[in-house]
A and B are shown apart, each in its own frame.
Chain A
Amino acid sequence: AQKITQTQPGMFVQEKEAVTLDCTYDTSDQSYGLFWYKQPSSGEMIFLIYQGSYDEQNATEGRYSLNFQKARKSANLVISASQLGDSAMYFCAMREGGLMFSGGYNKLIFGAGTRLAVHP
């Protein structure tokens, strides 16, 4: 079953406007973590923001914020005041469960990504 769903293969936004990139997830665990990564055309993966399932406040990092709606199992990324340099692929990811019986943590799985194009 698909754990992470990003329904928007591509998005366009005008420079200086805000944009929301959608992400829904599927888990039966109460404890999990949600991540967003950016991948520019250069190919590097850049960590943007993290939200823990028990965090009561939505995470924010500069122009990035995560709109976390636990009951709806959604973790949308909001980019405010878009810049041309924001044009990239954006991936939502999830790590299920807290500490496992084995003493370790679960793996991080990624969605299919959304390609964002910022127009001047």
Chain B
Amino acid sequence: GAGVSQSPSNKVTEKGKDVELRCDPISGHTALYWYRQSLGQGLEFLIYFQGNSAPDKSGLPSDRFSAERTGGSVSTLTIQRTQQEDSAVYLCASSLTGEAGELFFGEGSRLTVL
């Protein structure tokens, strides 16, 4: 498809397990974002990749969270030793570079930590 693709759409895991969430951005989009949205809340910025620049990791809540982007395309968000407070929808978005570049969002990965 032409949009941002995220997988899995739903993930249920046990506390302490590691999870990986995948994002496939729109082809040609140089910028890629990860946000976290808890139920009924706003979007919490996690990490931002832009082209060959060093990623902006300023939003990662702890060292259990990491993300990489391979070949300037697909990104994986990894959460190690998951905790119940990690339960949320994880949204990925991509955009063209530029100040006015609007973000195109995926449908999100809903993570539930039991």
Contact = CB atoms under 8 A, between A and B. Distances in A.
Nearest to A108: B103
Contacts of B98: 105
A52 B93 contact: no
A85 interface: no
A112 B108 CA distance: 18
Interface stretch (B15-23, B47-55, B62-70, B78-86): B47-55
Contacts of A104: 31, 50-51, 53, 97
A44 B105 contact: yes
A8 B14 CA distance: 36
B10 to A, nearest CB: 12
A35 B43 contact: no
B42 interface: yes
A52 B53 CA distance: 24
A45 interface: yes
Contacts of B33: 107-108
B81 to A, nearest CB: 26
A108 B102 CA distance: 9
B69 to A, nearest CB: 14
Interface of B: 31, 33, 35, 41-43, 45, 48, 50-51, 53-54, 56, 89, 91, 93, 95, 97-105, 107-108
Given A33-B99, A91-B43, A104-B51, 11 more contacts: A31-B99, A35-B103, A44-B105, A99-B99, A102-B53, A104-B97, A105-B50, A107-B33, A110-B35, A112-B42, A113-B42
30 contacts: A32-B99, A33-B99, A33-B100, A35-B102, A37-B103, A44-B105, A44-B107, A45-B103, A45-B105, A47-B102, A50-B100, A52-B99, A91-B42, A91-B43, A102-B54, A103-B51, A103-B53, A104-B31, A104-B50, A104-B53, A104-B97, A105-B31, A105-B50, A105-B99, A108-B95, A110-B43, A112-B41, A112-B42, A113-B41, A113-B42
